[in-house]
Amino acid sequence: MQPSNRSSRILLPAKGWFIYLSLFVALGLEYIPTGRTPGVPDWVALVLAVWCIREPLRIGMGTGFVFGLLVDVGLGAALGQHALAYVVLAYLVNGLARRLMWFPPLQQALHVLPMLLASQVLMVVVRMIAGAEFPGWSYFLSSFTSLLLWVPLTYLLLLPQFQPVERDDNRPI
């Protein structure tokens, strides 16, 4: 069989409930009131990007749209603002998923950074057209903290897939 990524490990398929649980946990982290502290990562965007790379057939623009709306409602932002950003993010990451799987996590993070920045720029443009004030350059810091979190987060989200359901020493995984 032709390999589809560089990793020599064969992983179990991700469980549906685990994917959605991780997204809801990210939503909870997103809702933590941090005020105007710069550099708080966009947890939902981050987890969404990880799953868009790992499970491009299951997690994509639809999931991004729904969770974007949930973020909008929870944060009191304009309805559709995060949804738009996440839909575009999911489109970009889904499109590059096959390519990204060939890179180690650190280089994946460098690929994801411009896409996260693009989604933030989109939100700024949409809100500034609607008459809001520019939130300051520190707003874009959150993409860079996301960059730092990419490697540990990818590892954390892949952890349940590393272990087989029942142990069998004669089996490769």
Partner 1 sequence: MSLVGHKPPPIFRRGPAPLVRLMLFVSVCLAMLVSDLRFRYLEVFRHAMSVVTYPLQMAAATPADVVRNASVYFATLVEVQRDNAELRRQQLGSGERLLRYELLQQENAHLRKLLEMAQRVQTRSIAADILYNAPDPFARKVILDRGAQQGIEPGLAVVDAGGVIGQVTRVFPVQSEVTLLTDRNQAIPVQVERNGLRGVLFGVGQGRLEMRFVIGSADIQPGDRLVTSGLDGVFVPGLPVATVVSVDREGDAFAGIVCEPLAGVERSMQVLVIGRVDLPPAPPAPAPPVEKKKGKGR
**Interface contacts to partner 1, rule CB under 8 A:** 24, 27-36, 57, 60-62, 64-65, 68-70, 73-81, 83-84, 87-88, 91, 94-95, 124, 126-128, 130-135, 139
CA distances from 117 to 1, 5, 40, 143, 169 (A): 37, 26, 14, 6, 45
Cβ at position 157, least distance to partner 1 in Å: 19
> Considering beta carbons, is residue 19 or 84 the nearer one to partner 1?
84
Contact 48, 59 (CB under 8 A): yes
CB atoms within 10 A of CB 113: 15
> Considering beta carbons, is residue 32 or 165 the nearer one to partner 1?
32
> Considering beta carbons, is residue 91 or 103 the nearer one to partner 1?
91
Helix (H) or strand (E) holding 110: helix 105-129
> Considering beta carbons, is residue 121 or 158 the nearer one to partner 1?
121
Q: How many CA atoms lie within 13 A of 89 on its CB side?
A: 35
Q: Locate tokens 């949804």: which residue? A: 83
Cβ at position 41, least distance to partner 1 in Å: 13
DSSP state of 139: G
Q: Locate tokens 């998923």: which residue? A: 97
Cβ at position 39, least distance to partner 1 in Å: 12
Cβ at position 23, least distance to partner 1 in Å: 12
